[in-house]
Amino acid sequence: MKLPHDIQKDFPSLHAMGMRAYLDSAASSLTPVSVLEAMNDYYQNFRSNVHRGMYKTAGEATERYEAVRGIVAKFLNASAPEEIVFTKGTTEALNLLATSLGRTFGPGDEVVLTEMEHHANLVPWQEAAKRHGFVLKYIPITKAYRLDMDAARALITPKTKAVSIAHASNALGTVNPAKELAALAHAIGALFILDAAQSVPHMKVDVRDLDCDFLAFSGHKTYGPTGVGVLYGKKALLEKMEPAQYGGDMIREVKYEASTWNDAPMKFEAGTPNIAGVIGLGAAISYLETIGMDAVEAHDRDLTAYALEKLPAVPGVKIIGPEAGERIGAISFEVAGAHPHDLATIFDREGVAVRGGHHCAMPLMGKLGVTGTCRASFGIYNGKEDVDALVEAIQAARATLKL
């Protein structure tokens, strides 16, 4: 399966931004026209709140909003739409888990993360651990930028209450062995949580095949709008969990003395949600399903292989991440003698947009002994010519910096 050759026409901002190569989709992907149209349709034609009004457009808004639960559930191969909670992004979804599950953990308990976590899957757990007295353990990475699975087997013990890991690392591109870790977690009765912010945009993610208990991803990295994301949770687990935020829409009955909660997933969605965002996310997923996740994955793999061949051929370039194989097209690299911010600035002048910095993974950067890296990351609209543009930009930077 191949992506449509004229796919770029679906992304008007590619040209409007006036760049030669947009290589920062791991930070935020661009948005196809169909997503903009779906959100516009809401604002222009049925702009109402959900779950309350008795008039026609309120009904339509509710229907369209709720329909996206079904679209997301099918996309992730969840068992039911009720397993989908809308959040404002991966960060909020992981905060919800750390807050709600964290309350049920205490002294003597452990939560296992990895050394390559994004701050979003680290800081919320750190805060919950501080509050409730449990301990965090980190699965180390090997010299090949992959998880040390022997260490993982030793770290996941009967004390472990949850294992929460990045499915794909935003800083290294590594795809972690989720199924194997899920089996290790479940063998001792721990919960298994996947931060799938970087995997969902690049590959078919099947929550039942992976057997994860919870999974989080973001709309804006999945060709959808900003400010919307998803928490998937197994129905039985969501039903048992306490909410993390309180207010309108999440309650069953409120009295001055005390209140009771709505059913999952509603009890996790306090207040008016990002209605246009959810509708836009639904359009983004429908778009991806039309072009096919197999094609998306094959395209990402081809471009990654091409970049892993071309970039190291430039003098001074070192890839900070695993070899081709179980990895996504988020490629971190250093150029000897150049700081990533200086590189990103010079690349910008060459019309090439990359991310330079610590990628919200400061502990990992410390472990690798770098202040940061440059990262080129691919979307479905990128081609080999974008990798070539990056190679030329690196050469230009080396000249400017007199390396």
Partner 1 sequence: MEENLYMENILDHYKHPHNAGRLEDASLRARELNPSCGDVIELFLSLDACDRVRDVKFDGKGCAVSQASVSMLTDRIKGRPLAEVLALSERDILEMLGIDVGPMRMKCAMLSLRTLKSALNEKH
Binding interface with partner 1 (CB under 8 A):
339-342, 345-346, 356-358, 362, 365, 371-372, 400-402
d(CA 4, CA 122): 38
d(CA 277, CA 261): 25
Q: What is the DSSP string of 219-255?
A: STTTTS-TT-EEEEE-HHHHHHSPPSS-STTSEEEE-
CB of 103 to partner 1, least distance (A): 29
Which C-beta is closer to partner 1: that of 215 or that of 364? 364
Q: In what order do the strands lie in the sheet with 135-139?
A: 84-87, 229-233, 214-218, 191-195, 160-166, 110-114, 135-139
d(CA 377, CA 309): 15
The H-or-E segment that residue 180 falls in is helix 178-187
Query: E strands, 119-250, where?
Result: 135-139, 160-166, 191-195, 214-218, 229-233
What lies within 8 Å, CB to CB, of 343 at 6+ separation is 335, 354, 356, 374, 394, 397
Q: φ, ψ for residue 135 (rounded to 5)?
A: -120, 145
Which C-beta is closer to partner 1: that of 206 or that of 348? 348
Which C-beta is closer to partner 1: that of 106 or that of 366? 366
Q: Where are the alpha helices (DSSP H) in 11-53?
A: 12-16, 33-45
Which C-beta is closer to partner 1: that of 157 or that of 371? 371
Which C-beta is closer to partner 1: that of 143 or that of 402? 402
Q: Please give the distance of CA 160 from its chain centroid, rounded to a whole number.
A: 24
What lies within 8 Å, CB to CB, of 5 at 6+ separation is none
Which C-beta is closer to partner 1: that of 295 or that of 362? 362
CB of 172 to partner 1, least distance (A): 16
212 annotated active-site: no
CB of 195 to partner 1, least distance (A): 21
CB of 401 to partner 1, least distance (A): 6
CB of 362 to partner 1, least distance (A): 6
d(CA 401, CA 295): 39
Q: How many CA atoms are closer than 13 Å to the CA of 299, on its beta-carbon side?
A: 25
Pair 246, 227: CB distance under 8 Å = no
What lies within 8 Å, CB to CB, of 369 at 6+ separation is none
**Catalytic site residue from 360, 361, 365, 389:** 360
Pair 171, 359: CB distance under 8 Å = yes
Which C-beta is closer to partner 1: that of 66 or that of 342? 342
CB of 118 to partner 1, least distance (A): 15
Which C-beta is closer to partner 1: that of 62 or that of 373? 373
Q: Which residues are catalytic?
A: 360
